[in-house]
Chains A and B, each alone.
Chain A
Amino acid sequence: MKNCWEATGCEVSTERHGRRFTKMAELSFAVICSSNMNRSMEAHAFLSKKGFNVRSFGTGDKVKLPGPAPDKPNCYEFGTSYDDIYNDLLKKDKTLYTQNGLLHMLDRNRRIKPDPERFQISKDKFDIIITCEERVYDQVLECLEARIPEENTPVHVINIDIQDNHEEATIGAFMICELAALVSECVLLVGVG
């Protein structure tokens, strides 16, 4: 957790009747990384296991996964299901992707939700947004700032820098969970709820 940025932006969305009030009892979290694959999904899995109301997103243009060489990544459109990606990689090179853990990760992801989601398209509201990288934080802010607000619901955007690999993602998930627990406890949080 080298760098922590925090900002209170204002999120906007079209109506989703009733949603807000079921959430009043607890905070809603969004965990966001670049591809909604590793870091955000690790945290998503961990937080939902701990009973938090959490969703995850990516902010990149495409879902990018390491390929056979650094200059040849596997790219997918957002919306391609984890299942499809899993099968595609299985077909391409089973041993390679088993070895680098991609298949395992995808297998976990498809148990959590059907497909990677792009934050910029989402219209949902959250109390706390946690980003996993400064670039992602910038993109989230850019996206939020670009909207013309309607309801002025406040949201906290917090960045925790996490390197994009399995180990760091696991440690990062712990940190995010700790932060989420602390924040949930803190009743005095400005502007939440």
Chain B
Amino acid sequence: MSEQEPTVRERVVELLNTAAFLPSEKEKIATLAKVQELIIHLDPQLLDSFFEDVAAFQKDRNSDVRKFVVGFIEEACKKDVAMLPRLVPNMQLLVLDEAVSVVKRVVQAVVQLHRATLAWLAAARTTTPEMEQVWHIITTMKNTILTMIDHDNDGVRTQAIKFLEAMVLLQTYTEPDSVTREGEFNLDHVPLTLKVARPRKLEEEARMVLGKLLAFQGSIHISSVNLMTCMSSLTIIARARPQFLGKVVNALEILHANLPPTLTKSQVNSVRKHLKIQMINLLKHPASYDYHYNITTVLTDLGMSSSEINKAMPSKDSMKRWIRKDKVGEEPIESAPKKPRIEKEEKKGKAEEPPAAVVEKTSALDITQRWLVEKLTPENVANLVLVSMINLPDEMPPLFSAGYSPITAAGTQAQIQHVARLLSSQLTAGGVGPGVEQVKDDEMKAGYDSDDESNISRLVGGRVQEESILVQSGPVLVPAGLAVRGARHKAKTMKLEEVTKPMNATASAKMQQLLLQRLLKNHKTPLLGSGAKDCVRILTVLMGSISPNECEELEDFLLEDMTSNCDLLFSWLFSEYATDHDFSQVNRFLGNAGKKDKEKQYSDIMSSIMMKALAKEASKERDEFLSRLFLEAPHVPENLISSLVRCGSQGSDSVLAAANTLKDITRWRPPASRPALEVLAILATHEQETVRDQVIPILVELCEQETYMEIVSESATKFLKYLLLEAPPEALCTHDLGRPIQPEEWTEASVKACLYLHLALLPLNQSMIHDLAQVYVKTVNEAKRSILRLLEGPIRHMGMESPQLLKLVETCPKGGETLITRIIHILTEKAPPSEALVCRVRELYNRRVSDVRFLIPVLTGLSKKEVIAVLPKLIKLNPHVVKEVFNRLWGVTLDTGASPLTPVDLLVALHLIDNDKCDVKTVIKATGLCFGERNIYTAEVLAFVLQQLMEQPSLPTLFMRTVIQTLTHYPKLLGFIMNVLQRLISRQVWKQRKVWEGFIKCCQRAGAQSFTVLLQLPPPQLADVFSVAPDLRSRLLSHIATLTENQRAHIPPSLMDVIEGRVTAELSHPVPHPSEVPLPPAPES
């Protein structure tokens, strides 16, 4: 041994040295673990010399290392009780550790220390002051941990539960039936004479703690892990201390009926499984005999079969033994279901003074249950079920489906009892029912006695004792390894104020100034170690105490080299801010030095720095500095933010930087967001497009947040309303916004400046369109033009479905028709009009604005009838517009959407227009447009049109004109047209003068082909033809000459007479002048 000792000692020293400098926590812990093994287990004699060194690691930064120290202390104290006074104070510090994991470990360790300390006290013959101190500390820690049951961290709560459990076990007496651990220390081994820790008081405390545990288990918001821990803790207590069994069974029963609502389905499963295990464990305990009925009911509810329950029951023998034992100890008392177990306590010879016995009264639960059983008649139950039907949820809750087991013995007395029990536990938990009331009354009565008693005992025992501890002049326990060693040989301190005299004020001020200048000059020269930091610190303090003049200089100096002086500047700003708000100690110190009111406040300094920076030439460096200044300064006054507008005149880079800074201010400094946004908004009205293009997207991005949106919208509307003024206001015409001269009247540029922001926001905040409409109505023409021109983009974005747009169309302000028309045009340019839009427009047209142009964009959305009705009005418009209308109807501009009028319908409708509504010339122009579109009006389409026109009861005036035009356009239709002419003859075409004229024209055009038709005319009409077109006669004659004899025979003689000129037609009516019906243009070829 003597040979080994130095080596072990040396190894320990070496390990400790290595551990102190190891960078990795894992290695550190491993090394320390070796030390622990050596000094606790291998050579306990060394413990005394090295424990301090290990304990010193509790200051380590890493929580794992600190946790290790806790473990070490636990081990050391268990090994050697003499360590308790030296290490328990360390624990007291550790229990307040900020790392949760360390706290958990401490709680775990204190269980052991608590037990060890009590054992130590119990074993000692006399109690030394040291021991009392240790006990005092332990008690303090105990109380700290007791409050941890409400700790924020779930894991700490778990440990606290286990701590409470251990406390109850330690601070109560065992009973004959107790399940105990080998070598367990508890109140049995504590002599009653122990003054420091009175067994009776300890037991009282244990009961209180148990109450706390029971209450904790019943809390609604308990987590599933803690609930299960709590359940097992209670079971352990019940098995180890059967006197509490009744309470625990009761609590578990209530829990079973009232599982916390916060648990998920799988957690409910786990908890129920756990409950089953606990109940089986309790069932196995012989002392649970009285509660077998309650336990088995719960178990059956949990889905256990009776055979399984029987298997878990303790053997008959042990039960019999239990019953017999009970009977022997008991006086013949009435057969109450719960037997008080005071007798057993008394039987134990150990206790000279019987511990405060709890007479177990029939609980509130039992009373209510009994009361309920009487009430549960079939009628009542049926009523109950029916009444509660209403409250059933629509879906089966997971808790129910997980926990439901079919009722087997419905209606039996046992089941009624069980239902009563369940109801009773609900009622009791809710604090109603006769049981609760009775118990309350009992407590009231009992309350006085117990209160008196406890008051007295406290006066005699606890209070006095506590004070005595405080007064005691015993050794004060200091945490090991933490005290500064070597402090004992303290040198005599030199007191500065004794050897120095105060300097006069001017000299001191001058010195200060000199010092400041020197430091400033040199502060950038690299200093070793913490020198640089200290230098900044000193400078900061000095700067805080300078006069305004020096302040100016200082500011200039700092701004000379903005980037590198930044740190200094900020530390100055922060110190000024702290001074302003009375945060800093320096303030007090300086205040004492005679500077009560500072001449220059933080905000002044801030603003003068800002102004100086802004006045500097724009550069990347300066912009970065400004941005930092705004974002990092402790506080930015609002008026300073507005001054950022000045960047507007300093080039687009500068503006971009300023805009981004403003954006960041908005985001990160919420109180300053309003001024920042306002400045941004003003910048958005900048003269230069580059600037606007940078600012507006930023604003739009910010506007995704509603609060910002409001502010920006306000500004935008404000700018918009400028348009109501006669000339651009001053606010818009500043140098910063690129408009140094205030113009006399609105120009396109200045109008646009007011509009940009508003229009950019429109798609985001659509209700703003109403403002725009209001302004539009009242503003000058220049502005109107600009609005109409710029509107396109935003309106496209808003789309046809926008409720705000629809609303605007619906409530079109007077004078805003052009605006509305434009909007509708934009909307329908790319897509067919929606139902809602059409509806709104139609409404507007019918009710208020009878301008037909209104309808054009939505034409395709109207019905055929409506379109035909407005057609006369439409074709009267400017030819370009008419063309546009037709294009819409033909579907040329739009691919989608069926037009209400097919091309055929359109042409037919044009023919059918009443002359009163529209003069013929306009109609002819319109039909001319149709004929122009040869892709649409193909031969087939025209044939179809002619067909339909033929079917009209009276032939339209323009019919023949169209026929001729068709012939001109499509000569291949000649045959078809001849056919038409023939049919016209049958309809006695000569009765309609104009048509007849056209007929003759057509025959002239058709030439030889028309001869067969001509030959079918009655003679007078043929004569009429010849009189109008004499050339036809000769051609017809030569034609007849070519005919065969046979064919000639078919021509009636009267007709031949006319042809050969033997009969001149006697006209019944004068031939109309040809010019009345304008002829179609001659064919080009």
Contact = CB atoms under 8 A, between A and B. Distances in A.
Interface of A: 4-10, 12, 17-18, 20-22, 24-25, 138, 141-142, 145-154, 190-191, 193
B724 interface: no
Given A24-B68, A25-B29, 20 more contacts: A6-B270, A10-B162, A17-B37, A17-B40, A18-B37, A18-B41, A21-B37, A21-B71, A22-B33, A24-B64, A24-B67, A138-B277, A145-B278, A149-B236, A150-B112, A152-B162, A154-B159, A191-B104, A191-B159, A193-B105
Given A8-B225, A17-B41, A152-B166, A145 B277 contact: yes
Given A7-B228, A152-B108, A24 B29 contact: yes
B252 to A, nearest CB: 13
Nearest to B237: A148
Contact of B180 (A4, A21, A148, A152): A148
A190 B225 contact: yes
Nearest to A12: B181
A152 B111 contact: yes
A193 B158 CA distance: 14
A145 B281 CA distance: 8
A5 B30 CA distance: 34
A4 B266 contact: yes
Interface string B27-61: 00110110011001100000000000000000000
A10 B26 CA distance: 26
A107 B108 CA distance: 42
B154 interface: yes
B694 interface: no
A10 B107 CA distance: 14
Interface string B236-270: 10011000000000000000000000000010011
15 contacts: A4-B266, A5-B273, A7-B228, A12-B181, A142-B281, A145-B277, A147-B181, A148-B180, A149-B236, A152-B111, A152-B162, A152-B163, A190-B154, A190-B155, A193-B105
A154 B159 CA distance: 8
A148 B29 contact: no
Contact of A21 (B29, B236, B277): B29
Given A138-B273, A138-B277, A190-B154, A25 B26 contact: yes
A148 B169 contact: yes
B179 interface: yes
A192 to B, nearest CB: 9
A10 B163 CA distance: 12
B555 interface: no
Contacts of B26: 25
A120 to B, nearest CB: 15
A159 to B, nearest CB: 10
B270 A5 contact: yes
A149 B166 contact: yes
Given A20-B71, A148-B236, A191 B277 contact: no
Counting from the closest, the 8 A-B pairs by CB-CB distance are: A21-B33, A190-B155, A152-B162, A148-B181, A18-B37, A191-B155, A25-B26, A152-B108
A150 B162 CA distance: 10
B155 A10 contact: no
Interface string B68-85: 100100010000000000
Nearest to A8: B225
B1084 interface: no
Contacts of B158: 8, 154, 190-191
Contacts of A142: 277, 280-281
A147 B112 CA distance: 17
B112 A151 contact: yes
A84 B277 CA distance: 36
B274 interface: yes
B232 interface: yes
A7 B274 contact: yes
B165 interface: yes
Nearest to A153: B108
A56 B545 CA distance: 73
B235 A145 contact: yes
B1000 to A, nearest CB: 99
Interface in B92-120: 101, 104-105, 108, 111-112
B65 to A, nearest CB: 10
Contacts of B36: 18, 21
Contacts of A153: 108
Given A17-B41, A145-B277, A153-B108, A7 B270 contact: yes
Contacts of B67: 24, 193
Contacts of B166: 149, 152
Interface in B816-859: none
A146 B282 CA distance: 10
A146 B278 CA distance: 9
A21 B68 contact: yes
A126 to B, nearest CB: 16
B229 interface: yes
A141 B277 contact: yes
Interface in B142-193: 154-155, 158-159, 162-163, 165-166, 169, 179-181, 184
Nearest to A152: B162
Q: Which of B64, B229, B278 has the most CB of A within 10 A?
A: B229
B33 A18 contact: yes
A9 B232 contact: yes
A141 B270 CA distance: 12
A12 B26 CA distance: 26
B159 A22 contact: no
B165 A149 contact: yes
B101 to A, nearest CB: 7
A8 B273 contact: no
Nearest to B27: A25
A5 B273 CA distance: 10
Nearest to A23: B33
Nearest to A134: B273
B19 to A, nearest CB: 13
A157 to B, nearest CB: 10
A153 B108 CA distance: 7
Contacts of B71: 20-21, 24
B240 A25 contact: no
A16 to B, nearest CB: 11
Given A145-B281, A152-B163, A152-B166, A8 B229 contact: yes
B228 A8 contact: yes
A172 B162 CA distance: 33
Contacts of B104: 191
Nearest to A20: B71
B108 A151 contact: yes
Contacts of B154: 190
A5 B276 CA distance: 14
Contacts of A154: 158-159
A193 to B, nearest CB: 7
Nearest to A144: B232
A146 B41 contact: no
Contacts of B33: 18, 21-22, 24
Contacts of A20: 71
Contact of B179 (A7, A21, A148, A190): A148
Contacts of A7: 225, 228, 270, 274
A119 to B, nearest CB: 16
Given A21-B68, A141-B274, A193-B67, A148 B240 contact: yes
A141 B232 CA distance: 10
Given A191-B104, A191-B155, A151 B111 contact: yes
A40 B163 CA distance: 33
Nearest to B37: A18
Nearest to A187: B101
Contacts of A25: 26, 29-30
B567 to A, nearest CB: 35
Contacts of B229: 8, 10
A30 to B, nearest CB: 19
A37 to B, nearest CB: 26
Nearest to A191: B155
A141 B40 CA distance: 33
